[in-house]
Structure 1
Amino acid sequence: MKKIFLSALVLLVVMSCKDKNNEPEKFLFDSSGNINHVSVVVDNDLWNGSVGEAIREVLTQTIYGLPQDEPMFTLSQIPPSVFSGFVTKNRTILKIQMNENPGMDIKENVYAKPQKVITIFGKSKLDVVDVISQNAEKIVDTFRAMEISERQRQMAKSPHNYANKIKEKLRLTIQFPSIYDLAKNEDNLFWFRKDITTGHAHIMIYDLPYEALKRNDSTVNQIIKIRDSIGQAYFKGRLDETVDVNGNKISSFMVTEDAYTPFHIETIVDNKPAYETKGIWELTNDFMGGPFINYTIEDKVNKRWVGVEGFVFAPSVEKRNYMLELESIIKSVKIE
């Protein structure tokens, strides 16, 4: 009787581990690796030559919108001969495969999950370099999408308990972790902050009347003007309202730094038109500043604009991963 029960249990497990094609699913370990880290599987001689240069040109390009130069990704080169075991579990992998017809292949969950593996094929070095160059944007977008998705997955493990209040007031949902503290909830604005190693990270959520922003050649200037007015109203500096040596009252608040031209593109968030703006913020009459990323989303159904912004103050340390987290939070927005 025990043998019959055991056999039935084994059969049930096997049947439950089938994919859509009725084939047994391969058991995969959880992927690993630091955020924004890519394993590059390529022979040493290729890595030290034109192929490696092409890879680094694409994946270590400087991120726009940060005070200091920081690469898009950190790379680890792994010769194919040692690509086995634990090293295959990295979340993002780029492989170079020679003596094949030129092309590119993108697969999910090959050695672990979640995982993206991009393979570049070519009969010669020139073939490989050409394929990398022609698909540069797609390679970057694939790996960045994976990192944003992974950061969202990690943050979902400890959701913030203020989510329902945001939903009630702004008719939207947004996912961010409970480690963020509420800094201000006033009018139609929510502001949360998180202490980090050498400073703090912030997320602001608000909405605007539909007529507050018009689509024309000055849209980016309008967005900057709006964020500066919000900064003046809500984000005050340490010296604000204090008196200087001459007895004058100091006014200190957040503004967009004039010397750094903001990056601005049209994009999509929650299947809705949106503007993405990146730049540097600073405090008037103070020495604080850092990068910001702002998404202004058009909500035609509710005749309004939804603004979500993340910004960081983290002097003397890299800010790339902090900004990725804020972008991941912003891109989790779902408008009702």
Structure 2
Amino acid sequence: MRKANFFFGLLLLLFCLSCTSNEKQSDLRLPEAHGKINTISVIMDDVLWNGEIGDTLRKKLAAPVDGLQDEEPLFTINQYSPKIFDASVKNSRTLIVVSKSDIPQFKHVENQYAFPQNVFYISGYTSSEIIRTIELHANTLVSSLKYYEIIENQRLNAITPFNDKSIKEAFGITLQLPNTFQYAIRNKDFCWLKKDVPSGNLNLLLYKIPFSSFSENDNLAQKIIDIRDSVGRKYVKGLYNNAGMITEESYAPYFQKIRLDHKTTYETRGTWELENGFMNGPFLNYVIEDPTNQCYLIADGFVYNPSSAKRDFVFELEAIIKSIHFLK
């Protein structure tokens, strides 16, 4: 009886491994998906796109990104008619297919035409029904698109990884950082990583503060800004008047509580500036609870790119920060 159970278990294991292997081989046979980060291909009839349905979809997918001085959309949208839904479009990394059908539907399919790929289907019998479906599932759609774009950005970063040995030793974490970054400042409890781009730079600060830095009576959002400004004044200086980086007061920061690597995290987005200077740009700040070491890890990303769009640079920093994993 024991032998029979053993062989049955072995056969079940082999079957499962075979299924997994077949799925992987199937994915490998698919063409490679293409598409820039935060770019979506929308497949829908021109009449629907130019009407109320298109307006509703654009309102959800092209809403302004929080924390940027200039208005930039969440996603760049390329619309195609179903009549030209050929291989070049089908192999897009992210597809949204909107059409009329007998029943309302919101469906997500992975790797249908290419790999890695996400296809979202939205349909309804009438225009009103399609709009209701979009409204009903808009939050799920946007959060799913953001999630998969973060995953893709992290995948790209991992292709040419940065040697993060010093970061592991100083902060007890790993993160998906591309080797296009380099250290601007590195010491025992603080590091500043910088990446140059044609018209500016991307920056990431990492440092720790003790749990005692916050008290129950603190205005948490304001306290985080105060800590951020004190670190900016100390380390991030202007070239001419030695002015430090602070949070710009004319733009109210966005503040929310999230989970990062299963830890309570406080996310703040806003705009930075140099005191008595003209340099400024967007930032995103994450205060991550580290109960094991009785401290908070702070990851602060900021962009200086005065002559170009900033959305994708901020998103790259977000993908890096959200790849943080605490070592045991």
Give the TM-score normalised by the residue count of structure 1.
0.89
Give the root-mean-square deviation of aligned CA atoms.
Answer: 1.9
Pair 1:72–1:25, CA change in 2 (3 A)? same
Find the counterpart in structure 1 of residue 95 from structure 2: 93
Find the counterpart in structure 2 of residue 294 from structure 1: 285
The partner residue of 2:255 within 247, 251, 264 is 264
1:322 CA displacement: 0.4
Find the counterpart in structure 2 of residue 238 from structure 1: 239
Percent of residue pairs identical: 37
1:59 CA displacement: 0.4
Q: Is the 8 A contact 1:192 1:203 kept in 2?
A: yes
4+ runs deviating over 4 angstroms = 15-18, 21-24
1:166 CA displacement: 0.7
1:55 CA displacement: 0.7
How do 1:222-233 residues align onto structure 2 when only pairs under 5 Å count? 222-233=223-234
| Partner Cα distance (1:262, 1:303) in 2 | 27
The partner residue of 2:139 within 137, 162, 170 is 137
Structure (1 or 2) with the greater helix fraction:
2
1:309 CA displacement: 1.2
| Partner Cα distance (2:217, 2:142) in 1 | 30
Find the counterpart in structure 1 of residue 300 from structure 2: 309
Find the counterpart in structure 2 of residue 4 from structure 1: none
Q: Higher mean Cα deviation, 51-60 or 213-222?
A: 213-222
Find the counterpart in structure 2 of residue 255 from structure 1: 246
The partner residue of 1:318 within 293, 309, 326 is 309
How do 1:24-63 residues align onto structure 2 when only pairs under 5 Å count? 25=26, 27-63=29-65
1:129 CA displacement: 0.6
Find the counterpart in structure 2 of residue 208 from structure 1: 209
| Partner Cα distance (1:22, 1:152) in 2 | 26
Q: What code does the residue aligned with 2:74 have?
A: M
Q: Higher mean Cα deviation, 95-104 or 321-330?
A: 95-104
Give the TM-score normalised by the residue count of structure 2.
0.91
Query: Number of matched residues?
Result: 311
Q: Is the 8 A contact 2:45 2:99 kept in 1?
A: no
Q: What code does the residue aligned with 1:236 have?
A: K
| Partner Cα distance (1:225, 1:38) in 2 | 38
Question: Which stretches in structure 1 are left out of the alignment for 5+ residues?
Answer: 1-14, 242-251
| Partner Cα distance (1:68, 1:314) in 2 | 12
How do 1:271-286 residues align onto structure 2 when only pairs under 5 Å count? 271-286=262-277
Q: Is the 8 A contact 2:104 2:125 kept in 1?
A: yes
Question: Which stretches in structure 2 are left out of the alignment for 5+ residues?
Answer: 1-14
| Partner Cα distance (1:306, 1:100) in 2 | 52
| Partner Cα distance (2:292, 2:135) in 1 | 41
